[in-house]
């Protein structure tokens, strides 16, 4: 974590201090998109998803050519959560069944999950020239994210016949992970006299290695609407 933070800080401050770039800052709101029904929540059963979060950005920007600029931004991408009741065996869940289950429902388990992400985005932006500038940008995203999950009443189960499941003894789950991964960012922007409005999509939901069954955070990425200023 310290290595990534230092890399972000150095990438931003060096070009600004060298006089080759302007400092840019931003604040906004993120909306995460989930992996869908069945990953950490089941649509048919009670659940609460925390998918909105404030976001912050500090970075550097400069020109490559007229109409083409670069951005290197450190971004805090937000914190997200889930609180859900689920059948602990995926084979027992059915979104199309009247009961939400294949056969009799197993007792539901209570899932609590949360995590956050931040990273370093480097983009090239092609934009119009003039007082008002419209732009489109893309580039890589180096990010660190965390994900923790707690299921105090989880238990294993086996399918002993079609639609028939047998529950085992309670085996609570309480685990978390942290990792650095490579994703991407896409964006649209409008700017006038240094003030801007920027819409970006950050793809930062890579799963954590867990043997042959990697497990992901609840989000695949975030849509971020942010007001920006350059100095």
- Residue with token string 């992901």: 216
**pLDDT the model gives residue 6:** 53
Q: What are phi and psi of 154, to 5 degrees?
A: -70, 150
Q: Which domains does the chain have, with CATH numbers?
A: 2-230 (2.40.160.20)
**pLDDT the model gives residue 4:** 61
Bridge partner list, 79: 116
Contact 54, 28 (CB under 8 A): yes
**pLDDT the model gives residue 140:** 98
**pLDDT the model gives residue 185:** 98
**pLDDT the model gives residue 16:** 56
N-terminal to C-terminal alpha carbon distance within the chain: 28
**pLDDT the model gives residue 64:** 95
**pLDDT the model gives residue 213:** 73
Average pLDDT over residues 151-180: 96
What is the distance between the alpha carbons of residues 139 and 72, in angstroms, rounded to a whole number?
10
Average pLDDT over residues 60-76: 96
pLDDT tens per residue across span 119-159:
999 999 999 999 999 999 999 999 999 999 999 999 999 99
What percent of the chain shows pLDDT beyond 90?
Answer: 87
Question: What string of DSSP letters covers 158-217?
Answer: EEEETTEEEE-----EEEEEEEEEEEEEEEEEEEETTEEEEEEEEE--PPBP-TTS-B--
- Residue 60 confidence (pLDDT) above 90: yes
- Residue 2 confidence (pLDDT) above 60: no
Mean pLDDT of the chain: 93
What is the distance between the alpha carbons of residues 75 and 53, in angstroms, rounded to a whole number?
13
Dihedral sign of CA atoms 94, 176, 79, 137 in order? negative
């Amino acid at each position: 974590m310290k290595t990534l933070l230092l890399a972000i800080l150095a990438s931003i401050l060096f070009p600004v201090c060298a006089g080759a770039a302007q400092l840019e800052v931003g604040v906004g709101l993120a909306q995460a998109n989930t992996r869908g029904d069945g990953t950490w929540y089941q649509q048919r059963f009670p659940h609460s998803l925390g998918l909105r979060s404030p976001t912050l950005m500090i970075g550097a920007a400069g020109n490559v050519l007229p109409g083409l600029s670069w951005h290197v931004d450190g971004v805090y991408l937000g914190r997200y959560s889930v609180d859900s009741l689920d059948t602990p065996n995926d084979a027992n869940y059915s979104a199309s069944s009247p009961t939400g289950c294949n056969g009799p429902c197993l007792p539901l388990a209570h899932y609590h999950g949360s995590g956050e992400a931040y990273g370093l985005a480097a983009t090239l932006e092609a934009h119009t020239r003039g007082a008002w500038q419209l732009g489109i940008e893309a580039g890589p995203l180096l990010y660190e994210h965390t994900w923790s999950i707690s299921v105090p009443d989880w238990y294993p189960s086996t399918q002993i016949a079609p639609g028939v499941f047998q529950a085992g003894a309670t085996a609570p789950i309480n685990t978390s992970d942290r990792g650095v991964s490579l994703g991407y960012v896409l964006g649209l922007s409008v700017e006038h006299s240094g003030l801007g409005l920027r819409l970006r999509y950050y793809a930062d939901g890579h799963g954590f290695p867990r043997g042959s069954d990697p497990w992901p955070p609840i989000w695949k990425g975030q849509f971020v609407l942010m007001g920006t200023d350059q100095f």
